[in-house]
Chain A
């Protein structure tokens, strides 16, 4: 039961979706059924996201109640979860501050706190990549040298000042870079990777549908 039921469900759902690819979604039974299953997928998926929220809340709550190291900061995490989520699930008909629309607490917290903080978190990566480029980006071998030269040329080409510099040399280097590096060698490699990855994803899908791949169930 613990294994057979999930494997059967994965098989039936998968086969319906594969068959429906070959049928009209609007006029056939299997097409309609596949649409209904996709709708179910949205609902179940929504619950999985909520599961993540509950899990994070539990972890932080445990840390606070057990006064683990840095618990005081986790109080702010819990408060932030509460302040962001509670007003958003209450109907906006009660107050314009509730719900998710413009002018709500939810929207305000997103615009003036969450979004700028997320943008800043990722902006710090610019410093780290500069430091890493200085310390680790070495021409240790012929292959590494090729990578380094291409990177420098592309870095120059993608900014106006660098492009102006490249244009000092004869032969329209920016155009050559776009044609033979980006739309030539790069395109070929990316296409090779896309073909390989897509074949891998398709075969993994087949393994899941046929019940050969079961690691998603976890242990036990």
Chain B
């Protein structure tokens, strides 16, 4: 292992342990690492956006491909910075409205076409589809679960009578799903810790054993 590789390894180990030290108690080393982390994270965006957006999508096409009309989004982008002034901050609404309108236009169709319709279509399954008794049971679970969940989240009418009973069924389904979600969340968080411990034991300690 070269000198620079050893330095890199120790640097990562130091930063990892510095951040873990917060678990015992807040301390200056943790605070220092935390603030450096915030700075690096902010700085990362600058290089990325400058290169991939400002140069590649705006400057180069305008200069080399004569796409002069890109001045419009360029100016709209610059208008975003009017937020730093109190007098002209309203100008930032214009690019913001463009972003909201365009994104809304895409969402209006894709959310319905790409999410709602396929979800509904795959819920409406024939019970006698040839899959046997177990599949029919599963199909019933899915239909009852989807409908009762939707009704549980329907707040425009008081949950009483038939609506109340269905909402009650809904909450039982939701509890099962959230339980599964909790189990998976524990798994995810533990995995992230394993990743750091793998580095500390296999890579860092392993390098000088």
Contacts and interface: CB of A to CB of B under 8 A. Distances in A.
A112 B8 contact: yes
Contacts of A56: 38, 42
B179 A154 contact: yes
Interface in A1-38: 2-3, 5-7, 9-18, 20-21, 37-38
B19 A117 contact: yes
B33 A117 contact: yes
Contacts of A195: 115-116, 119-120, 146, 150
Interface string A56-86: 1110000000000010011011111111110
B49 A46 contact: yes
Nearest to A105: B47
B180 A80 contact: no
A192 B80 CA distance: 38
A161 interface: no
A12 B102 CA distance: 9
A150 B149 contact: no
Given A18-B109, A53-B42, A148-B179, A113 B51 contact: no
A179 B134 CA distance: 10
A150 B180 contact: yes
A179 B138 contact: yes
B42 A81 contact: yes
Contacts of A38: 102
Interface string A187-220: 1111111111011011011101100000011101
A164 interface: no
B99 to A, nearest CB: 6
Contact of B47 (A100, A157, A189): A100
A168 interface: no
A196 B150 contact: yes
Contacts of A37: 102
Contacts of A149: 179
Contact of A216 (B52, B96, B181): B96
Given A40-B76, A116-B15, A209-B108, A129 B189 contact: yes
Interface string B52-82: 1110011000000000001011101110110
**Chain B residues touching A, range:** 35 or more
B44 to A, nearest CB: 6
> Which of B46, B47, B195 has the most chain A CB within a 10 Å cutoff?
B47
Given A47-B95, A201-B107, A76 B185 contact: no
A7 B104 CA distance: 13
B108 A186 contact: no
Interface string A34-55: 0001111111111111111110
A60 B89 CA distance: 21
Contacts of A183: 138
Contacts of A117: 15-16, 19, 33, 36-37, 40
A13 B35 contact: no
Interface string A162-198: 0000000000000000011111111111111111101
28 contacts: A10-B100, A41-B99, A43-B70, A46-B49, A47-B53, A51-B83, A73-B31, A80-B43, A84-B42, A88-B47, A100-B51, A116-B12, A116-B199, A117-B19, A119-B195, A121-B19, A123-B193, A126-B190, A150-B175, A151-B182, A154-B179, A154-B180, A154-B184, A158-B183, A181-B180, A184-B138, A185-B180, A188-B146
Interface of B: 8, 11-12, 15-16, 19-20, 22-23, 31-54, 57-58, 70, 72-74, 76-78, 80-81, 83-84, 89-90, 93-113, 115-116, 119-120, 122-123, 134, 138, 141-150, 153, 170-187, 189-190, 192-193, 195-196, 199
Given A10-B104, A128-B189, 8 more contacts: A3-B93, A40-B73, A44-B76, A47-B77, A48-B95, A73-B32, A158-B183, A218-B93
